[in-house]
Structure 1
Amino acid sequence: MLVKYDENPLEIKNISHTVTLVPRLEYSVNLLDEMIEILNGRQSELKETNQDFRFDFDESDKSQVDSLKLEFLVLFSLDVLLEIKNRMKRISHLGNIPEVLPSSIPMIRTVSAQLFDVVPMCSQKLSEISVHLGSIVLDSAALTTARFDFSRSNNESADLLNEVKLMVHSKLSKQYPNLDFFKLCNT
Protein backbone atom coordinates (compact mmCIF):
# COMPACT_ATOMS: atom_id res chain seq x y z
CA MET A 1 0.00 0.00 0.00
CA LEU A 2 1.35 3.44 -0.90
CA VAL A 3 0.81 6.42 1.33
CA LYS A 4 0.60 9.84 -0.20
CA TYR A 5 3.35 12.05 1.17
CA ASP A 6 3.66 15.76 0.60
CA GLU A 7 7.23 16.92 0.63
CA ASN A 8 7.97 20.24 2.16
CA PRO A 9 11.11 21.61 0.44
CA LEU A 10 11.93 23.77 3.48
CA GLU A 11 12.08 20.70 5.73
CA ILE A 12 14.33 18.87 3.27
CA LYS A 13 16.67 21.84 3.16
CA ASN A 14 16.81 21.95 6.98
CA ILE A 15 17.50 18.23 7.16
CA SER A 16 20.44 18.54 4.78
CA HIS A 17 21.87 21.41 6.84
CA THR A 18 21.36 19.46 10.03
CA VAL A 19 23.33 16.53 8.64
CA THR A 20 26.34 18.79 8.05
CA LEU A 21 26.42 19.75 11.74
CA VAL A 22 26.97 16.22 12.99
CA PRO A 23 30.45 15.65 11.48
CA ARG A 24 31.66 19.02 12.77
CA LEU A 25 30.29 18.28 16.22
CA GLU A 26 31.87 14.82 16.25
CA TYR A 27 35.19 16.26 15.06
CA SER A 28 35.06 18.87 17.83
CA VAL A 29 34.28 16.23 20.46
CA ASN A 30 37.19 14.07 19.23
CA LEU A 31 39.58 17.04 19.35
CA LEU A 32 38.32 17.92 22.81
CA ASP A 33 38.93 14.34 23.95
CA GLU A 34 42.51 14.55 22.65
CA MET A 35 43.14 17.78 24.56
CA ILE A 36 41.64 16.28 27.71
CA GLU A 37 43.95 13.30 27.36
CA ILE A 38 47.02 15.51 26.91
CA LEU A 39 46.11 17.70 29.89
CA ASN A 40 45.31 14.67 32.00
CA GLY A 41 48.80 13.30 31.33
CA ARG A 42 50.38 16.67 32.02
CA GLN A 43 48.43 17.01 35.27
CA SER A 44 49.59 13.57 36.41
CA GLU A 45 53.21 14.51 35.69
CA LEU A 46 52.89 17.76 37.63
CA LYS A 47 51.20 16.04 40.56
CA GLU A 48 54.08 13.56 40.71
CA THR A 49 56.71 16.30 40.39
CA ASN A 50 55.08 18.49 43.03
CA GLN A 51 54.26 15.78 45.55
CA ASP A 52 57.21 16.70 47.79
CA PHE A 53 55.71 20.18 48.28
CA ARG A 54 53.16 18.62 50.60
CA PHE A 55 55.86 18.50 53.27
CA ASP A 56 58.61 20.82 52.09
CA PHE A 57 57.52 24.00 50.35
CA ASP A 58 59.43 27.27 50.24
CA GLU A 59 57.23 30.24 49.27
CA SER A 60 60.33 32.27 48.46
CA ASP A 61 61.48 29.72 45.84
CA LYS A 62 60.06 31.06 42.58
CA SER A 63 60.47 27.72 40.77
CA GLN A 64 58.38 25.93 43.41
CA VAL A 65 55.68 28.60 43.29
CA ASP A 66 55.67 28.51 39.48
CA SER A 67 55.43 24.73 39.47
CA LEU A 68 52.36 24.82 41.73
CA LYS A 69 50.80 27.61 39.67
CA LEU A 70 51.34 25.49 36.57
CA GLU A 71 49.66 22.54 38.24
CA PHE A 72 46.72 24.78 39.14
CA LEU A 73 46.48 26.07 35.56
CA VAL A 74 46.60 22.60 34.02
CA LEU A 75 44.06 21.18 36.48
CA PHE A 76 41.79 24.20 35.98
CA SER A 77 42.02 23.83 32.19
CA LEU A 78 41.36 20.10 32.42
CA ASP A 79 38.31 20.56 34.64
CA VAL A 80 36.89 23.27 32.36
CA LEU A 81 37.26 21.00 29.33
CA LEU A 82 35.63 18.13 31.21
CA GLU A 83 32.71 20.42 32.07
CA ILE A 84 32.40 21.40 28.40
CA LYS A 85 32.49 17.75 27.37
CA ASN A 86 29.67 17.01 29.83
CA ARG A 87 27.67 19.87 28.37
CA MET A 88 28.22 18.55 24.85
CA LYS A 89 26.88 15.15 25.92
CA ARG A 90 23.57 16.88 26.68
CA ILE A 91 23.08 17.68 23.00
CA SER A 92 20.34 15.36 21.89
CA HIS A 93 18.82 17.28 19.00
CA LEU A 94 19.31 20.35 16.88
CA GLY A 95 17.08 22.50 19.07
CA ASN A 96 19.21 22.30 22.19
CA ILE A 97 22.52 23.21 20.52
CA PRO A 98 21.81 26.96 20.90
CA GLU A 99 20.96 26.32 24.57
CA VAL A 100 24.01 24.20 25.43
CA LEU A 101 26.98 25.42 23.39
CA PRO A 102 27.12 29.25 23.40
CA SER A 103 28.57 29.59 26.90
CA SER A 104 31.12 26.85 26.15
CA ILE A 105 32.85 28.88 23.45
CA PRO A 106 34.14 31.69 25.73
CA MET A 107 35.24 29.04 28.23
CA ILE A 108 37.27 27.26 25.55
CA ARG A 109 38.79 30.55 24.43
CA THR A 110 39.75 31.41 28.01
CA VAL A 111 41.48 28.06 28.48
CA SER A 112 43.15 28.36 25.09
CA ALA A 113 44.56 31.78 25.99
CA GLN A 114 45.85 30.53 29.35
CA LEU A 115 47.57 27.54 27.76
CA PHE A 116 49.16 29.56 24.94
CA ASP A 117 52.64 29.68 26.53
CA VAL A 118 52.33 26.46 28.54
CA VAL A 119 50.95 23.92 26.05
CA PRO A 120 50.88 25.72 22.68
CA MET A 121 49.54 22.74 20.73
CA CYS A 122 46.55 22.44 23.07
CA SER A 123 45.96 26.16 22.78
CA GLN A 124 45.93 25.93 18.98
CA LYS A 125 43.58 22.93 18.93
CA LEU A 126 41.24 24.60 21.42
CA SER A 127 41.10 27.65 19.16
CA GLU A 128 40.15 25.33 16.32
CA ILE A 129 37.42 23.75 18.47
CA SER A 130 36.01 27.17 19.35
CA VAL A 131 35.77 28.05 15.65
CA HIS A 132 33.97 24.81 14.85
CA LEU A 133 31.59 25.15 17.78
CA GLY A 134 30.91 28.77 16.86
CA SER A 135 29.93 27.76 13.34
CA ILE A 136 27.78 24.93 14.70
CA VAL A 137 25.99 27.32 17.07
CA LEU A 138 25.36 29.85 14.31
CA ASP A 139 24.15 27.24 11.84
CA SER A 140 21.88 25.60 14.40
CA ALA A 141 20.49 28.98 15.40
CA ALA A 142 19.73 29.77 11.77
CA LEU A 143 17.96 26.43 11.37
CA THR A 144 15.97 26.72 14.58
CA THR A 145 15.48 30.51 14.43
CA ALA A 146 17.04 30.75 17.89
CA ARG A 147 18.18 34.07 19.28
CA PHE A 148 21.18 34.67 21.45
CA ASP A 149 21.64 36.74 24.52
CA PHE A 150 25.40 37.17 24.50
CA SER A 151 25.34 38.91 27.85
CA ARG A 152 23.61 35.94 29.47
CA SER A 153 25.94 33.52 27.73
CA ASN A 154 29.01 35.45 28.90
CA ASN A 155 27.68 35.62 32.45
CA GLU A 156 26.98 31.89 32.44
CA SER A 157 30.48 31.24 31.14
CA ALA A 158 32.06 33.46 33.80
CA ASP A 159 30.02 31.78 36.54
CA LEU A 160 31.08 28.31 35.36
CA LEU A 161 34.73 29.36 35.18
CA ASN A 162 34.56 30.71 38.74
CA GLU A 163 32.87 27.53 39.91
CA VAL A 164 35.60 25.39 38.36
CA LYS A 165 38.27 27.64 39.86
CA LEU A 166 36.81 27.10 43.34
CA MET A 167 36.67 23.34 42.78
CA VAL A 168 40.32 23.30 41.68
CA HIS A 169 41.33 25.39 44.70
CA SER A 170 39.53 22.87 46.88
CA LYS A 171 41.16 19.85 45.20
CA LEU A 172 44.64 21.32 45.48
CA SER A 173 44.06 22.47 49.05
CA LYS A 174 43.29 18.84 49.95
CA GLN A 175 46.32 17.64 48.00
CA TYR A 176 48.61 20.22 49.62
CA PRO A 177 47.01 20.89 53.03
CA ASN A 178 49.86 23.13 54.23
CA LEU A 179 49.54 25.61 51.35
CA ASP A 180 47.16 28.50 50.85
CA PHE A 181 46.23 28.18 47.18
CA PHE A 182 43.99 31.24 47.17
CA LYS A 183 46.95 33.36 48.22
CA LEU A 184 49.45 31.50 46.06
CA CYS A 185 47.47 31.69 42.81
CA ASN A 186 46.30 35.26 43.25
CA THR A 187 49.75 36.78 43.64
Structure 2
Amino acid sequence: MLVKYNETVLENISHSVTLAPRLEYSSNLLSEIMDIFSEKLYDLKKSNCDFELFFDDTDKNHHTAIELERNLTFSLEVLVTIRNRITSISGVYNIPEVLPSLVPMIRTISAKFFNIIPICSQKLSELSVHLGSIVLDSASLTKARFDFSQSNRESSIFLDKVKLMVDSKISKQYPNVDFSKLCNT
Protein backbone atom coordinates (compact mmCIF):
# COMPACT_ATOMS: atom_id res chain seq x y z
CA MET A 1 0.00 0.00 0.00
CA LEU A 2 1.34 3.43 -0.94
CA VAL A 3 1.04 6.24 1.53
CA LYS A 4 0.41 9.59 -0.04
CA TYR A 5 2.24 12.52 1.49
CA ASN A 6 1.23 16.01 0.72
CA GLU A 7 3.91 18.43 -0.43
CA THR A 8 3.93 20.31 2.87
CA VAL A 9 4.96 17.19 4.82
CA LEU A 10 7.75 16.41 2.34
CA GLU A 11 8.91 20.04 2.41
CA ASN A 12 8.98 20.05 6.24
CA ILE A 13 11.02 16.84 6.29
CA SER A 14 13.52 18.24 3.81
CA HIS A 15 13.88 21.49 5.78
CA SER A 16 14.32 19.57 9.02
CA VAL A 17 17.07 17.43 7.50
CA THR A 18 18.94 20.51 6.26
CA LEU A 19 18.99 22.24 9.66
CA ALA A 20 21.53 19.95 11.32
CA PRO A 21 24.33 20.42 8.73
CA ARG A 22 23.80 24.20 8.73
CA LEU A 23 23.87 24.28 12.50
CA GLU A 24 27.08 22.23 12.49
CA TYR A 25 28.60 24.55 9.87
CA SER A 26 27.65 27.54 12.02
CA SER A 27 29.22 25.94 15.05
CA ASN A 28 32.46 25.29 13.13
CA LEU A 29 32.49 28.86 11.82
CA LEU A 30 32.01 30.14 15.36
CA SER A 31 34.96 28.02 16.52
CA GLU A 32 37.17 29.53 13.79
CA ILE A 33 36.21 33.04 14.88
CA MET A 34 36.82 32.26 18.53
CA ASP A 35 40.25 30.83 17.70
CA ILE A 36 41.24 34.03 15.88
CA PHE A 37 39.95 36.22 18.72
CA SER A 38 41.69 34.05 21.33
CA GLU A 39 45.00 34.30 19.50
CA LYS A 40 44.67 38.08 19.09
CA LEU A 41 43.76 38.47 22.77
CA TYR A 42 46.68 36.30 23.90
CA ASP A 43 49.13 38.38 21.83
CA LEU A 44 47.59 41.63 23.03
CA LYS A 45 47.70 40.62 26.69
CA LYS A 46 51.39 39.78 26.30
CA SER A 47 52.11 43.20 24.82
CA ASN A 48 49.89 44.98 27.38
CA CYS A 49 51.36 43.24 30.45
CA ASP A 50 53.63 46.23 31.21
CA PHE A 51 50.57 48.47 31.51
CA GLU A 52 49.76 46.86 34.85
CA LEU A 53 52.62 48.87 36.33
CA PHE A 54 53.69 51.41 33.72
CA PHE A 55 50.75 52.95 31.92
CA ASP A 56 51.35 56.27 30.16
CA ASP A 57 48.09 58.15 30.38
CA THR A 58 49.26 60.57 27.67
CA ASP A 59 50.04 57.85 25.13
CA LYS A 60 47.04 57.27 22.86
CA ASN A 61 48.48 53.90 21.76
CA HIS A 62 48.27 52.67 25.35
CA HIS A 63 44.60 53.67 25.52
CA THR A 64 43.91 52.00 22.16
CA ALA A 65 45.61 48.77 23.23
CA ILE A 66 43.62 48.57 26.46
CA GLU A 67 40.38 49.33 24.63
CA LEU A 68 41.11 46.60 22.08
CA GLU A 69 41.81 44.14 24.89
CA ARG A 70 38.52 45.11 26.50
CA ASN A 71 36.64 44.61 23.21
CA LEU A 72 38.28 41.25 22.52
CA THR A 73 37.59 40.04 26.06
CA PHE A 74 33.98 41.21 25.80
CA SER A 75 33.53 39.53 22.42
CA LEU A 76 35.04 36.24 23.53
CA GLU A 77 32.77 36.14 26.59
CA VAL A 78 29.74 36.66 24.37
CA LEU A 79 30.93 34.10 21.80
CA VAL A 80 31.45 31.48 24.51
CA THR A 81 27.85 31.97 25.61
CA ILE A 82 26.67 31.77 22.00
CA ARG A 83 28.59 28.52 21.53
CA ASN A 84 27.08 27.11 24.73
CA ARG A 85 23.58 28.02 23.59
CA ILE A 86 24.11 26.49 20.15
CA THR A 87 25.41 23.26 21.66
CA SER A 88 22.40 23.15 24.00
CA ILE A 89 20.02 22.75 21.06
CA SER A 90 18.44 19.33 21.33
CA GLY A 91 15.85 19.45 18.56
CA VAL A 92 14.06 21.57 16.02
CA TYR A 93 11.51 22.79 18.60
CA ASN A 94 14.36 24.08 20.77
CA ILE A 95 15.81 26.33 18.03
CA PRO A 96 13.17 29.12 18.16
CA GLU A 97 13.75 29.39 21.91
CA VAL A 98 17.55 29.50 21.77
CA LEU A 99 18.76 31.22 18.60
CA PRO A 100 16.75 34.44 17.98
CA SER A 101 18.52 36.55 20.62
CA LEU A 102 21.95 35.38 19.42
CA VAL A 103 21.75 37.06 16.01
CA PRO A 104 21.76 40.65 17.38
CA MET A 105 24.64 39.74 19.70
CA ILE A 106 26.69 38.48 16.77
CA ARG A 107 25.91 41.58 14.72
CA THR A 108 27.01 43.81 17.60
CA ILE A 109 30.37 42.06 17.81
CA SER A 110 30.76 42.11 14.03
CA ALA A 111 30.25 45.87 13.99
CA LYS A 112 32.92 46.38 16.69
CA PHE A 113 35.55 44.64 14.55
CA PHE A 114 34.61 45.85 11.08
CA ASN A 115 37.69 48.08 10.80
CA ILE A 116 39.91 46.28 13.32
CA ILE A 117 39.74 42.61 12.29
CA PRO A 118 37.76 42.63 9.01
CA ILE A 119 38.01 38.88 8.42
CA CYS A 120 36.33 38.18 11.76
CA SER A 121 33.69 40.79 11.10
CA GLN A 122 32.95 39.12 7.76
CA LYS A 123 32.80 35.66 9.34
CA LEU A 124 30.53 36.96 12.09
CA SER A 125 28.21 38.46 9.47
CA GLU A 126 28.14 35.12 7.68
CA LEU A 127 27.38 33.39 10.98
CA SER A 128 24.47 35.73 11.72
CA VAL A 129 23.01 35.04 8.26
CA HIS A 130 23.28 31.27 8.75
CA LEU A 131 21.76 31.35 12.23
CA GLY A 132 19.02 33.70 11.04
CA SER A 133 18.08 31.32 8.24
CA ILE A 134 18.06 28.40 10.68
CA VAL A 135 15.75 30.38 12.96
CA LEU A 136 13.35 31.14 10.12
CA ASP A 137 13.34 27.57 8.80
CA SER A 138 12.79 26.13 12.27
CA ALA A 139 9.93 28.57 12.79
CA SER A 140 8.24 27.37 9.62
CA LEU A 141 8.60 23.77 10.79
CA THR A 142 7.42 24.37 14.35
CA LYS A 143 4.92 27.14 13.61
CA ALA A 144 6.78 29.32 16.09
CA ARG A 145 6.26 33.05 16.28
CA PHE A 146 8.88 35.58 17.17
CA ASP A 147 8.84 38.83 19.01
CA PHE A 148 11.95 40.45 17.57
CA SER A 149 11.77 43.36 19.99
CA GLN A 150 11.85 40.84 22.87
CA SER A 151 14.85 39.09 21.29
CA ASN A 152 16.60 42.45 20.95
CA ARG A 153 15.83 43.29 24.60
CA GLU A 154 17.19 39.93 25.77
CA SER A 155 20.29 40.43 23.67
CA SER A 156 20.80 43.96 24.95
CA ILE A 157 20.39 42.96 28.60
CA PHE A 158 22.86 40.12 28.18
CA LEU A 159 25.42 42.33 26.41
CA ASP A 160 25.13 44.93 29.19
CA LYS A 161 25.81 42.27 31.84
CA VAL A 162 28.86 41.00 29.98
CA LYS A 163 30.12 44.55 29.51
CA LEU A 164 29.91 45.23 33.24
CA MET A 165 31.70 41.98 34.02
CA VAL A 166 34.48 42.67 31.50
CA ASP A 167 34.88 46.28 32.62
CA SER A 168 35.33 45.08 36.19
CA LYS A 169 37.83 42.43 35.12
CA ILE A 170 39.88 44.88 33.03
CA SER A 171 39.81 47.52 35.79
CA LYS A 172 41.23 45.01 38.28
CA GLN A 173 43.84 43.89 35.78
CA TYR A 174 45.06 47.43 35.13
CA PRO A 175 44.68 49.34 38.42
CA ASN A 176 46.87 52.24 37.22
CA VAL A 177 44.65 53.04 34.24
CA ASP A 178 42.09 55.84 34.40
CA PHE A 179 39.20 54.16 32.59
CA SER A 180 37.12 57.31 32.52
CA LYS A 181 39.44 58.49 29.72
CA LEU A 182 38.95 55.34 27.64
CA CYS A 183 36.14 55.11 25.12
CA ASN A 184 33.13 53.06 26.17
CA THR A 185 32.43 49.78 24.37
TM-score band w.r.t. shorter chain: over 0.9
Q: Whole-Å Cα distance in 1 between the matches of residues 10 and 180 of structure 2?
A: 54
Give 1:179 shift. Answer: 2.7
CA distance in 1, matches of 2:177, 2:165: 16
What displacement does 1:33 show? 0.3
- Gaps spanning 5+ residues in structure 2: where? none
Alpha-carbon shift at residue 184 of structure 1 (Å)? 2.5
1:78 aligned residue: 76
Q: Does the 8 Å CA contact 1:169/1:182 hold for their aligned counterparts?
A: no
Aligned residue for 2:139?
A: 141
C-alpha contact 2:57 2:178 (8 A) present in aligned 1? no
Counterparts of 1:180 and 1:59, CA distance in 2: 8
Give the Å deviation of 1:180.
Answer: 4.3
CA contact (8 A) 1:102 1:137 kept: yes
Q: What residue number does 2:151 align with?
A: 153
Please state if 1:20 is matched with 2:35: no
What TM-score results when the alignment is normalised by the length of structure 1?
0.91
2:57, 2:177 within 8 Å by CA — same for their partners in 1?
Answer: no
% of aligned pairs identical? 59
1 CA distance for matches of 2:51 and 2:17? 51
- Secondary structure at the aligned position of 2:182 is classed as helix
Q: How does 1:13-162 map to 2 (within 5 A)?
A: 13-162=11-160
Per-residue Cα deviation, 1:100-134 (whole angstroms, up to 9, x for no partner): 00110011001001001111000001000111111
Is the Cα–Cα contact under 8 Å of residues 172 and 181 in structure 1 kept in the other structure?
no
Q: Aligned partners of 1:136, 1:177: CA distance in 2, in Å?
A: 44
Name the residue aligned to 1:176: 174
Give the C-alpha shift of residue 5 in structure 1: 10
DSSP-derived class of the 2:146 partner: coil
Shift of 1:12: 4.3
Question: Where does the alignment leave 5 or more consecutive residues of structure 1 unmatched?
Answer: none
Would the alpha carbon gap of residues 6 and 70 (structure 1) be closer, same or farther in structure 2, given more than 3 Å must change?
A: same
Please provide the CA RMSD for this pair.
Answer: 1.9
Helix, strand or coil: the match of 1:95?
Answer: coil
The alpha-carbon distance between structure 1 residues 166 and 183, as it changes in their structure 2 partners (threshold 3 A), is: farther
Scaled by the length of structure 2, what TM-score is found?
Answer: 0.92
Deviation at 1:14, TM superposition (A): 2.0
C-alpha distance in structure 1 between counterparts of 2:180 and 2:169, whole Å: 12
Q: By how many angstroms is 1:8 displaced?
A: 5.4
Aligned residue identity for 2:65: S
Partners of 2:116 and 2:26 lie apart in 1 by: 22
